[in-house]
Structure 1
Amino acid sequence: MIRRSAALLFILLAAFILPGCWDRTEINDMAFILTSGIDLEDDGKYRISVMVPLPGQMGGASGGGGGTSGDKSYYVDSEVGETYRECLNQLQKRMSRRMFLAHRRTIIVGEALAKRGLQDLYDSTPRSPENRMTTYLIVAKGKASDMLMSTPRFERFPSEAVRELVKARGVIDINFKDFGVALSLPGADPVAVYMAVKESEKSEKPSKEVEFKGYAQFRNDKMIGSLENDEAIGLSLLHGQKMIINMITVQAEDGSKMSVRIYSSSTNIRTTLIDQQVHFNINIQLTATMMEDKTKYDLSQTDNVLKVEAAISEYAKNTIQKTIDSSIQHNVDSTQLGSTLWRAYPEQWASQFEKNWPEGLKDAKLDIQVESQLTDTGLIYDNITKEHAPK
């Protein structure tokens, strides 16, 4: 009897201290934000656009997307305000479900706002635990809202097309946290992925596709330029990602072209002070595979392989130099070479270089050494249609 009374008392006590999900939030009560676009209006106010999936129209897969028409599985809405939170609050007033930001994977910033500065964004976003610092930060050429209204054919949501492009292996991994760390890192200026909307060509049904352009250059928190094409490849090589996929076209001695794919890169930057002058010794090792050869080289011959490797090394060296020249031109250190100087010589950095950096980058000596290895020539050594001398 005593045991039964004790068990009953325990059950009653548990009923009081474990009341259940009294503050539960059902999935049906939430609106999952897929991505946000932030623009600067002409009057100085902010415009925030959000992309929200429509649960009632997500039963079956459908190609394409875009707009807010009834046959799409998402819709885009936006609002203007003096602050970011004011914009979100105005949007919430006309949503029947609570906006939930934890599943957002990309934040797209319009070019005008990026040029004015992202300081306010770094105050608003980290204050809420729903905002993930691993979210990708992207700068859109033009307006961010235009990117949300794109109509990529391969993905159901434009946000998915943006996310897949920004996390591709040929793109430097830059999230919200990485950008913030670069802002506070001595001798470095941050970069962000730079994307644009481009109409498809020669298509029966034209679409507005999302395109990777390169990287936006920043001085402190303000955008001042961009690195595109060769300069963007040079930056990825300097960052030394172990696995990159970059398709490049190089020129042989006779002027003909070859397309090779760089699939591995290792970068070592050594900084020295010689007679108070900065020397950057940049050593890069590349591995590549042949994709197309208009030189008609017989790649079964070692001499021809060495020629290809020399052309790849020369191309990589030139792209890195272009990237550094662009940084010098815009008076920023997008390459973050100054941070290697700070780590190697912290005292000299504080006393001699910190105040005048990145101006001091143009006086530094650069020694760029690239070693390339062609590890795969494809399934053929020589073009089968090439004319050969009769036996």
Structure 2
Amino acid sequence: MTAISRIGLAVAALLLLAGCWDRTEINDVAFILSTGIDLEKDGSVRYTVMLPLPGSMGGATGGGGGTGGGGGKSYYLDSETGKTYREAQSKMQRRMARRMVLAHRRTVLIGEDFARDQGVMGVFDATPRSPESRMTTYFIVTEGKSYDLLQATPQFERFPSEAIRELAKSKMVIDMNLKDFALALTLPGSDPVAIHMGVRESQQSLKTSKEVQILGYSQFKKDKLVGTLEGRAAAGLTWLKAGSINIGATLLAKDQYINVRVFDTESRIKANVGDDQLSFDIAVSTKAKIVESGDYYDFSQPGKVTEIEELLSAYIKKSIEETLKQMVDKETDSAQLGNYIWQAYPQHWANTYEKVWPKPLKSAKFNIQVNSILTETGLIYDNIIKSETGL
């Protein structure tokens, strides 16, 4: 084959190659870090987005409330209103030079007014329709407006959305995302819960900041917010549903406070419908360790360890009882107890409980057994300075 023939074949092959006619450049898109949905007083929906500013990000600055290398914020918030949040999003896009992309969004925030009055069913209709949306995105209900949480100024993170995400995936709370919430909505005998967050100002600080804080869990009846589990009631739900979760408990033993950290939990729930009396056998096993003892408490004595284990078991049982009480008061099944009936007695569930659930929880009996094991008392049994100073 001659050289001219080879050149001709090469040119012909080049004509068959596709060009980058539909390319998307990085400077043509705006990556959404987090979104917030709120209800306005006039009934309209406010849609808020957090967007990074690439030109202001620079190098790492160690947090400082989202400040970039030039001293300004490395992100900005924008919002718009509409009849639905998708309409508000479209109106916002019409004034934005770059196309908003949801592929990097990790948190969806819902204001409590919107969740209580409108419900979140519309969010779960519109979100999966976008192929960029991820169902592993964390779903969070905020105290007050969601855009207030997005305006927090956490000192350890460049973006407030990062602080929100880190807290949502921490071992202090049940790991819940959009997929988990959607499954809880569709399971028989189940009402979903979501992580509840708010803003708290730092205390006694040279530079005040608005920090993101976990407040508990938001209770839903179907897709509408009906209440919030806080304090020990929130811990009780965590002990019912979670496994390797770190939860602190303060116990009072012989007029002194002892702090323990529960780091492993296993719960077993069994439903019983015999003799027309609905009951649940709840068995919880936990492992814990001592993190602080206010005064001398001789953990070298087995009896002392057993005493703390019994106090912890009583504390956990009381917390679970508070959770169940609030579930009954709000007529919502946040612990998904009805699902255990459906699994064990599907026909009985369909004939007796399905249409009236969760009202039967009011007359149900709960047999709660808690077994706590203190696995770590620390490397010392006494305060390290006591023997030297005589304090």
What is the match of residue 180 of structure 1?
182
Does the residue aligned with 1:65 lie in a helix, a strand or coil? coil
Question: Residues 303-382 of structure 1: matches in 2 within 5 Å?
Answer: 303-382=303-382
* C-alpha RMSD of the superposition: 2.3
What is the match of residue 281 of structure 1?
281
What is the match of residue 34 of structure 2?
35
Among 120, 124, 132, the alignment partner of 1:122 is 124
In the alignment, the residues of structure 2 paired with residue 4 and residue 380 of structure 1 have an alpha-carbon distance, to the nearest angstrom, of 88
Deviation at 1:383, TM superposition (A): 2.9
In the alignment, the residues of structure 2 paired with residue 3 and residue 171 of structure 1 have an alpha-carbon distance, to the nearest angstrom, of 71
Larger deviation: 61-70 or 146-155?
61-70
Deviation at 1:67, TM superposition (A): 9.7
Does the residue aligned with 1:24 lie in a helix, a strand or coil? coil
Does the residue aligned with 2:355 lie in a helix, a strand or coil? helix
Q: Which amino acid aligns with 2:350?
A: A
Q: Which amino acid aligns with 2:274?
A: I
In the alignment, the residues of structure 1 paired with residue 352 and residue 324 of structure 2 have an alpha-carbon distance, to the nearest angstrom, of 21
Does the residue aligned with 1:107 lie in a helix, a strand or coil? strand
Does the residue aligned with 1:120 lie in a helix, a strand or coil? helix
**For 1:115-135, what per-residue CA distance to the aligned partner results, in whole angstroms no more than 9, with x for missing partners?**
021111111111110111111
Q: What is the TM-score with the length of structure 2 in the denominator?
A: 0.94
In the alignment, the residues of structure 1 paired with residue 209 and residue 370 of structure 2 have an alpha-carbon distance, to the nearest angstrom, of 41
Q: CA 1:13–1:308 in 2, change beyond 3 Å: closer, same or farther?
A: same
Q: What is the TM-score with the length of structure 1 in the denominator?
A: 0.94
CA contact (8 A) 1:67 1:76 kept: no
Percent identity between matched residues is 51
Does the residue aligned with 1:258 lie in a helix, a strand or coil? strand
In the alignment, the residues of structure 1 paired with residue 188 and residue 256 of structure 2 have an alpha-carbon distance, to the nearest angstrom, of 44
Does the residue aligned with 1:308 lie in a helix, a strand or coil? helix
Q: Which amino acid aligns with 2:202?
A: S
What is the match of residue 111 of structure 1?
112
Q: Which amino acid aligns with 2:27?
A: N
In the alignment, the residues of structure 2 paired with residue 10 and residue 324 of structure 1 have an alpha-carbon distance, to the nearest angstrom, of 75
In the alignment, the residues of structure 1 paired with residue 284 and residue 241 of structure 2 have an alpha-carbon distance, to the nearest angstrom, of 10
What is the match of residue 151 of structure 1?
153
CA contact (8 A) 1:188 1:334 kept: yes
Deviation at 1:295, TM superposition (A): 5.4
What is the match of residue 43 of structure 2?
44
Q: Which amino acid aligns with 2:141?
A: V
In the alignment, the residues of structure 2 paired with residue 121 and residue 6 of structure 1 have an alpha-carbon distance, to the nearest angstrom, of 59
What is the match of residue 162 of structure 2?
160
CA contact (8 A) 2:174 2:242 kept: no
Deviation at 1:277, TM superposition (A): 1.7
Deviation at 1:3, TM superposition (A): 12
What is the match of residue 76 of structure 1?
77
CA contact (8 A) 1:33 1:103 kept: yes
CA contact (8 A) 2:278 2:364 kept: yes
**For 1:107-164, what per-residue CA distance to the aligned partner results, in whole angstroms no more than 9, with x for missing partners?**
1111100102111111111111011111111001000011111111111100001001
Larger deviation: 63-72 or 106-115?
63-72
In the alignment, the residues of structure 2 paired with residue 119 and residue 45 of structure 1 have an alpha-carbon distance, to the nearest angstrom, of 16
In the alignment, the residues of structure 2 paired with residue 304 and residue 367 of structure 1 have an alpha-carbon distance, to the nearest angstrom, of 27
What is the match of residue 300 of structure 2?
300
1:94 equivalenced with 2:95 (yes/no): yes
What is the match of residue 222 of structure 1?
224
In the alignment, the residues of structure 1 paired with residue 349 and residue 9 of structure 2 have an alpha-carbon distance, to the nearest angstrom, of 70
Q: Which amino acid aligns with 1:298?
A: D
Does the residue aligned with 1:298 lie in a helix, a strand or coil? coil
Q: Which amino acid aligns with 2:355?
A: K
CA contact (8 A) 1:264 1:286 kept: yes
Unaligned segments of structure 2, at least 5 residues: none
Does the residue aligned with 2:121 lie in a helix, a strand or coil? coil
Q: Which amino acid aligns with 1:248?
A: A
Q: Which amino acid aligns with 2:327?
A: S
Q: CA 1:3–1:374 in 2, change beyond 3 Å: closer, same or farther?
A: farther
Deviation at 1:347, TM superposition (A): 0.3
In the alignment, the residues of structure 2 paired with residue 140 and residue 163 of structure 1 have an alpha-carbon distance, to the nearest angstrom, of 13
Q: How many residues align?
A: 386
Deviation at 1:15, TM superposition (A): 3.4
Does the residue aligned with 1:44 lie in a helix, a strand or coil? coil
CA contact (8 A) 2:136 2:179 kept: yes
CA contact (8 A) 1:65 1:73 kept: no
Q: CA 1:360–1:10 in 2, change beyond 3 Å: closer, same or farther?
A: farther
Q: CA 1:150–1:4 in 2, change beyond 3 Å: closer, same or farther?
A: same
**For 1:210-261, what per-residue CA distance to the aligned partner results, in whole angstroms no more than 9, with x for missing partners?**
11000000011110100011111111111032x1111111222x34321000
Does the residue aligned with 1:161 lie in a helix, a strand or coil? helix
